[in-house]
Structure 1
Amino acid sequence: MKNKIIITLMLLSSYVSFSQKNITWEDLAKVEFIEKFFPSYGEHFLYPKFSDSVKSLEGKRVTITGYFLNIDPQGKLLILSKGPMSSCFFCGIGGPETAMELQFTSKKTFKTDAIITVTGILELNADDVEHFNYILKECEALLVK
């Protein structure tokens, strides 16, 4: 009987360690930005300083819901946004913390402004201005609405 309990506890703990964490846009808003000059571009960009709570999510499998945006005609840059296209980061309504780059394991297409739930591995990006501050890798998505 004791062995069964130990095995059950081990299985449950391994399940919990491999499951994803549900996060919200409020979780990702715990970041500060300062303007930083990037000599290679000759421009100032917003440089993120991630809070400890955000840093703790890096490399973890997370799930978040938002609006799907496809702003790239070739479909190479896919975005999840806190708000729809009419009020997204690119329209000046929100900051960089209200959008994340999606990198799917296989090609996915949804209509712009479709509400989707995405699960993937969260990467924090502070230095590469060619990519978003939040990148979700190995994404899987489910259409919500």
Structure 2
Amino acid sequence: MCKILLSLIFISIPFHLIAQQKLSWEDLEEVSFHDVYNVHYDDYFLKPTFGPIIKSYEGSKITISGYFLDFSYEEEFHMVSRNPMSSCFFCGGAGPETIVEVIFKNKSNYKTDQVIEVTGILELNAEDVDHCNYILKEATAKLIQ
């Protein structure tokens, strides 16, 4: 009886909570946005409302492939994007769901517009307008092209 109970508990745990999952850019589209006024910046920002499926990945190790973007000036700031910088990564109707902020475990040596596969712990950010809505922490990556 104990074995049956343990088996049922194990199969009821969503698989993505145990293993890393490869997400697509379409998976990140499960979000809606509404304008919210920010007193600090005296401006309106898009506040995300994440859907239940993408919420289920929060805190999980995920992998996504995209174009590396390096916005490092005074401090390191990296993103991976559905679109390359060379074709205006945020133009043509692309929204906040088309970029993921990446916080690497170790210093990154990638160049802007190289295609990488990045793996990290997914954080969903709905409050801090100084960071992206999707953040990968403790990230590692490998060059695809």
Category of TM-score, reference length = shorter chain: 0.7 to 0.9
Q: Which runs of 5+ in 2 are unaligned?
A: 1-9
Q: What TM-score results when the alignment is normalised by the length of structure 1? A: 0.84
Runs of 4+ in 1 over 3 A off after TM superposition: 15-18
C-alpha contact 2:67 2:82 (8 A) present in aligned 1: yes
Aligned partner of 1:28 in structure 2 is: 28
Structure 1: stretches of 5+ with no match in the other structure: 1-9
Asked if the contact 2:122/2:137 (under 8 Å) is kept, the reply is yes
1:59/1:123 contact within 8 Å kept: yes
* Corresponding residue number in structure 2 for 1:95: 95
Tell me the distance in 1 between the aligned counterparts of 2:17 and 2:76: 32
Task: Find the aligned partners of 1:64 and 1:119 in 2 and give their Cα distance.
Answer: 7
Q: Secondary structure of 2:111's partner?
A: coil
Alignment partner, residue 83 of structure 1: 83
For the aligned residue pairs, the C-alpha RMSD in angstroms reads 2.1
Q: Are 1:87 and 1:93, in contact at CA under 8 Å, matched by a contact in 2?
A: no
Change in CA separation of 1:38 and 1:16 when aligned onto 2, cut-off 3 Å: closer
- Aligned-partner SS, 2:37: strand
After superposition, where does 1:12-51 map in structure 2 within 5 Å?
18-51=18-51
**Structure 1 position 74, deviation (Å):** 3.9
What is the number of equivalent residue pairs in this alignment?
133
